[in-house]
Structure 1
Amino acid sequence: MSPERLNAHLRKTLSRGRVEASRPSGCPRLALYLFDPSVLEGPLSHEEAQSVVAAPAYWSFCWASGQVLANWILDNPEWVAGKTVLDFGSGSGIVAIAAARAGAREVIACDIDPGALDAVLANATLNGESVTLCSDWHERPEGIDVITAADVLYDPENRPFLGVFQKVAARVLLADSRVRDLGDDAYRKYAEIEARTWPDLNEFEEFNRVRIYVAEA
């Protein structure tokens, strides 16, 4: 998968946008095609800002929670090794790629954004890993052992997935920097780690504290 295809997706929202390969500071063992901030030689025009807000290319940034969960999986491969893993809301694919590198039997990257799925494929290839793509959660394959998800709770409509995930897989690995109280006692906090979105968006400091949770049947 050529990065030019990712550039074409990005330019739907930012005409001067492009990606470059870089290594997020929170998980430098993996390389990703991400937004190249050097193209912003000055403020966004009104039209560019409106386009970015209307249809943001989430996959072109590596969010703090994704970096932390990916790095944690690489440090603790026993959580996914030999398992079938589904990465929900995969975005850039960093968590899915980490699971593949950590020895998962199969990794399924699930995202509704075609740009994200192209990014996952390009980034998996960049890292020499293989990942299966899924564009619809409701059409996921059977036999999922582990579900991973990073920063998917920013939308309140996604909160019910906390319970759904537990019905689908015996183990759920969740990372989040947006919600302080999950409201589900089945999720036990394992760690709290600091990281910053890459490229850095200068977010509020509270969003740089990532909590990792595990729920097991």
Structure 2
Amino acid sequence: MLPSIGRCLSRRLRTPPAPELRAFIVRNTEPVSEHLSPEISLRLLTPRCPFWGRAAQPWPFGDPYWAIYWPGGQALSRYILDNPAVTTAKRVLDLGSGCGASAIAAVMSGATDVLANDIDPLAAVAIGINCELNKIPPLRVATENLIGKMEEKWDVILLGDMFYDEEIATDLHNWLTKYKRFHGPEILIGDPGRAEFTKYLGQDWLKKVTEYELPASTKEENYGLTSSSVWRFL
């Protein structure tokens, strides 16, 4: 099991064919809807799965962060489902998509074009499986690093649990500031209060939108955290 609430960049190992990745995901995860957005079913790593409680090293394809529904993503997905106008008829980028929950929530809430972006090829396969699980068309998925890219214009950018270390937090802040100035999208950040995110609190570019209590039944999966929030990048 992953050792902390921080997310790790996946180790770059051999990438097998998609059918092999798909079989691995199905074999080592289970469908779950007991979380903050029960409308969305996801294949996740749970205490009932073979690798639960073990170090990440035995996983053959890199750290399985895509198999955890992180608290920031849960809050973000809940907010989108409760406020569909945020993404209805909009072009949406879900950056660091992981299991794809926030991207799926955007589709369910009427987004016209959604791109799920995650640098891990295994996450891309997992997102496809989760689309099938929720009976929605396959999402467009990009595995290149889009942080710093300015060319494509998005109406909404979603970031769940992305401020997980100092380097990426700095890169994100710099890019989002530039992108907001240039394209003017709605930018929403989901985060449960990680240190690299909370150091920005009190600054004039962040406004808290809402806070949710996480389901008590998922306390173990959420590393003991009890709440998570959505913030608007101004």
Q: TM-score, normalised by structure 1?
A: 0.81
Alignment of 1:1-217 (within 5 A): 5-8=21-24, 18-40=28-50, 44=54, 50-51=57-58, 55-130=62-137, 131-138=139-146, 142-160=152-170, 161-168=172-179, 169=183, 170-177=185-192, 178=194, 179-182=197-200, 184-195=203-214, 200-201=220-221, 203-205=223-225, 208-216=226-234
Alpha-carbon separation, structure 2, partners of 1:127 and 1:42:
24
1:49–1:78 Cα change, 3 Å: closer
Structure 1 gaps, min length 5 = 11-16
Aligned length: 203
Structure 2 gaps, min length 5 = 1-17
Matched AA of 2:230: I
What is the Cα deviation at residue 165 of structure 1?
2.3
Q: Is the 8 Å Cα contact of residues 116 and 140 (structure 2) preserved in structure 1?
A: yes
Alpha-carbon separation, structure 1, partners of 2:114 and 2:68:
21
Alpha-carbon separation, structure 2, partners of 1:133 and 1:43:
30
What is the Cα deviation at residue 204 of structure 1?
3.8
Q: Is the 8 Å Cα contact of residues 18 and 36 (structure 1) preserved in structure 2?
A: no
Alpha-carbon separation, structure 2, partners of 1:148 and 1:42:
28
Aligned residues with identical type, % of pairs: 31
Q: Is the 8 Å Cα contact of residues 89 and 150 (structure 1) preserved in structure 2?
A: yes
* Most deviating of 95-104 and 31-40: 31-40
Q: Is the 8 Å Cα contact of residues 24 and 67 (structure 1) preserved in structure 2?
A: no
Cα deviation digits, residues 69-120 of structure 1 (max 9, x gap): 1011000011111111000100000000000110111010000001111111
Aligned-pair Cα RMSD in Å:
2.9
Alpha-carbon separation, structure 1, partners of 2:117 and 2:38:
23
1:41–1:105 Cα change, 3 Å: closer
* Most deviating of 176-185 and 24-33: 176-185
